[in-house]
Chain A
Amino acid sequence: MTSNTFLDQWIRNHFFDAVPICAAVIDRDYNLLYANKTFEDVYGDWRNRKCFSAYKKRDQPCGICKGSEAFSDGISRVSEETGYDQSGRMTRYIKHTIPVREPNGRIPYLLEMSIDITEANQVQRERKLLFDEVPCHIVLMDRQFRIVRANKKVRENFGEVVGQYCFEALKGLGLPCEDCTARQTFTDGKIHVGTHVWRSGLGHPVHHQVTTLPVPNENGTFDVVMEMTIDVSETMELHDRLNRAHHFMETLIHTAIDGVLAMDETGNVTILNPAARRLFGIQETTPVSGTSLTYMLPEGAIKRLIDGDERVFLPDSQIQTTTGETCPVRLSGARLQYEDQPLGMAFYIQDLTTLHQLEQQKLEAERLAAVGQTVAGLAHGVKNLITALEGGLYMLSSGMQKANIERMDKGLDMLARNIERISVFVKAFLGFAKGRHIRAWPCAPAAIAAEVVDLHSPKAHRLGIELRNEPAETDIPEAPIDYESMLECLTNLVGNAIDACQMSDRCADGLVRVRTFEERGVITYEVIDNGCGMDYEVKKKVFTNFFTTKGTGGTGLGLLTTKKIVQEHGGIIEMETEPGQGTTFRIRLPRSRLPKPASNGDAEPSNPSYHQV
């Protein structure tokens, strides 16, 4: 036997059984004449059965029978069929029906080969699962916008909507939407995206992003559009909240009385509110560069933030305006960052012009008040002097009447002495009224206190009062102070304190302490005495309000002069008095407010440590 013969025999005997598709031969009466193994595996024993019985478990031929068509027209055809396998499970298969034509043209048999596509159906099921379970709403609709299919999520939220108009079912509207993306897709066959507000099952509006796309059928046309929607309500709400917060911040910044400006990391100006524009003198429409602002802001403000400071606060600084003027401001700045990501820097600028004017007016008012008090004091001082002069005149005239030489001499002495006192008094008054120009030079604040204590120690010792200098433990750096004027201030306060001790009932324990220290940039002198009691209270009240020529001379002007000098140094003078404890006078000199050191044109005192009181 040749190999060809063997192959012929093998094909005849085995090939039919070996092919992996169901193959069977039927006659014109639909009897199954032959079937291969695969067929038998699927449909069971086929012998003595009709094809409709094997494929479909029917008793009668099928209504539409592709086999009978093939017998009559002799054309091979392919059809999709549904049947049942031997265990009764539905199978889907593609059947090729091939007429077996005899040489004479008769067609006594048909070869039927069927391919099981039940597997493909599995894919379809998966597709359906995807359709239902995908976390978005999907509806299919026809050209009338009637929903023909809806996925589970739609059914859950809107109920059974198939058959309803989409605008009715999803939005509760009576007419299609104006901006219907499905209509656009039906018109041009393209994918369209839009946003819609639907009513939810609970009645509140839900924002959706909608995508509509055509569902093509076999011939490439389409009559159905698929609409997929994603709930973007949360995103929309966040967006809305962000917008509101932004608007809120923007309004705050825009309407702020203080200047607000911000720059990003690259130095672009991101915020420059109207108040800041006014401060710098920049027109509303003029663009501003970060570089120009760097020159206009107080020197070093930006640099400090760049160099690593988190914040910068300049309580008393100034900015440059576009017109080249300076404007007094209080400035605070901060580096901006979010979770390690630098965002630039921001500054808040408060215009101090009005405040400075008010301060100036207040100083002026205080000066005028001081002048008023001084004038009142002057009148009383004059009254005392007049009384003494009247006394002198009385003594002189009564001495003359009585020819009493001794009395006349006394009267003349009184007149001479009190005329001299008037002269001293007027000089002192003029000195105060004229004032002295403050000339500040860098000097050690503690040295002034030390000198005052040295000067007063002999007098205090004589009166049995202890006078103690208590400098700060650490040296206070030099500061621009008018040495001579500050010496005068402390002399006045120490003199008063010694008087207070002297007037106290406990004069024997009299103690005056002069403390000098600096805290947070404020140089402070304290003159503390333990001379206390109502007597001193009364006297103090009188001394702060009135002028007197009593005592060691010029004391009434002392506190007024002291106050004036302290004010000229930008400082304040405070007094605390505790009945039974004594009195503390405190001069506070913030370094930032100290006068500028006198220019080189002014003569520097040859020896600032030596001053005559």
Chain B
Amino acid sequence: MAPKIMIVEDEPDIRLYLMAVLEDNGFIVCIPSDDASVCSMAQQERPDLILLDILMPRRSGVSIYRELRSNPNLSGTKIALFSGMDLEPNMETGGFHRLLGDDTISPPDGFIPKGIRVGSLLDAVRTLLEAPTR
């Protein structure tokens, strides 16, 4: 069965682009109707990977990330942060905790910078999916 990827992105054009690329390459894509339904949809759809934009006007990706991570039902779900801004240096080590201002939350499974090249995006997604679940 094709891996399922959930896209949490408020920018409609980018959302559409990601969806098209992923679907064209055989992934199943699901998109929550709004920020508030991210967690419930994730529980319902059980995606293999969530691509989460950390800069959104209503509730930032960080807030959603915290909610997802604190839900025990979703502890096995992989999450990759996805952003157009330069993430702080060493994001994969301490930088992430500095961004959150909270070091009790475990870091995401990956970071995908925007400025998407189709090939590299698919490579990153496949690498994340193939990695063992923590």
Question: Once the chains bind, are A387 and B116 in contact (CB under 8 Å)?
Answer: yes
Residues A503 and B13 in contact, CB atoms below 8 Å apart = no
B13 adjacent to A391 (CB under 8 Å):
yes
Chain B residue contacts of A391, Cβ below 8 A? 13-14, 16-18, 20, 116
Q: Is the CB of A387 within 8 A of B115?
A: yes
> Which chain B residues border A388 with CB–CB below 8 Å?
11, 13-14, 17
Contact A542 B17 (CB under 8 A): no
Q: Does A143 contact B (CB under 8 A)?
A: no
Residue A499 lies at the interface, judged by CB distance under 8 Å to chain B? yes
Q: A551 is contacted by which of B17, B21, B57, B102 (Cβ under 8 Å)?
A: B57
Cβ of B16 and Cβ of A539 under 8 Å apart? no
Q: Which one, B17, B20, B63, contacts A387 given CB within 8 A?
A: B17
C-alpha spacing A534/B62, complex, angstroms: 9
Contact of A502 with B55 in the complex, beta carbons under 8 Å: no
What's the least CB distance linking B45 to chain A, in Å? 23
| CB contact between B13 and one of A398, A418, A505, A542 (< 8 Å): that residue | A418
Any chain A CB within 8 A of the CB of B126?
no
Q: How far is the CB of B84 from chain A (nearest CB, A)?
A: 4
Inter-chain CA distance A280–B108, complex, in Å, is 67
Residues in B whose Cβ lies below 8 Å from that of A407: 20
Q: Which residues of chain B are within 8 angstroms of A414 by Cβ–Cβ distance?
A: 13, 16-17
A469 within 8 Å of B by Cβ?
no
A381 to chain B: closest residue by CB: B84
Q: Is B86 at the interface (CB under 8 A from chain A)?
A: yes
- In residues 534-589 of chain A, which contact B (Cβ within 8 Å)? 534-535, 537-539, 542, 546, 548, 550-552
Q: Is the CB–CB distance between B62 and A384 below 8 Å?
A: no
Give which listed residue, B57, B101, B114, contacts A384 with CB less than 8 A. Answer: B114
A395 in the interface (beta carbon within 8 A): yes
A386 contacts B by Cβ under 8 Å: yes
Task: Verify if A380 is at the interface (C-beta below 8 Å from B).
Answer: yes
Q: How far is the CA of A550 from the CA of B10 in the complex (A)?
A: 9
Are A538 and B20 within 8 A (Cβ)?
no
B101-A534 in contact (CB<8A):
yes
0 or 1 for each of A297-335: is its CB under 8 Å from B? (1 = yes): 000000000000000000000000000000000000000
Chain A interface residue count, Cβ-Cβ cutoff 8 angstroms: 33
Check A34 for interface membership: any CB of B closer than 8 A.
no
With A and B bound together, what is the CA distance between A66 and B114 in angstroms? 146
A503 to B62, CA, bound (A): 12
**Taking A392-B13, A414-B16 as contacts, is the C-beta distance between A387 and B59 under 8 angstroms?**
no
Whether B134 sits at the interface, judged by CB under 8 Å, is: no
Contact indicator B114/A502 (Cβ below 8 Å): no
Q: Kindly provide the distance from the CB of B57 to the nearest chain A CB, expressed in whole angstroms.
A: 4
Contacts of B10 in A (CB 8 A): 550
Q: Is the CB of A503 within 8 A of B60?
A: yes
Minimal beta-carbon separation of B23 from chain A (angstroms): 10
Q: Write the A384-426 contact mask toward B (1 if CB under 8 angstroms, else 0).
A: 1011101110110010000000010010001001100000000
Q: Is A383 an interface residue (CB 8 A)?
A: yes
Known: A394-B118, A398-B24. A539 touches B100 (CB 8 A): no
Complex interface residues of chain B between 54 and 70 (CB less than 8 A to chain A):
55-60, 62-63
Residues of A within 8 A of B63 (CB): 503, 505, 533-535
Contact B85 A546 (CB under 8 A): yes
Q: Does B122 contact A (CB under 8 A)?
A: no
- A548 and B55 in contact, given A383-B114, A387-B115 (Cβ under 8 angstroms): yes
Q: Which of A387, A398, A499, A542 contacts B14 (CB 8 A)?
A: A387
Given contacts A394-B118, A534-B102, 14 further A-B contacts (CB under 8 A): A380-B84, A383-B84, A387-B115, A388-B17, A390-B116, A391-B13, A391-B20, A394-B21, A407-B20, A503-B63, A534-B101, A539-B60, A548-B84, A550-B55
Complex A-B: 13 CB contacts under 8 Å: A386-B115, A387-B14, A390-B116, A391-B16, A394-B17, A394-B21, A398-B24, A414-B13, A503-B58, A505-B63, A534-B100, A539-B55, A550-B55
Chain A contacts to B: CB under 8 angstroms: 380, 383-384, 386-388, 390-392, 394-395, 398, 407, 410, 414, 417-418, 499, 502-503, 505, 533-535, 537-539, 542, 546, 548, 550-552
Question: Which 4 pairs show the lowest CB-CB distances between chains A and B?
Answer: A391-B17, A535-B63, A551-B57, A388-B13
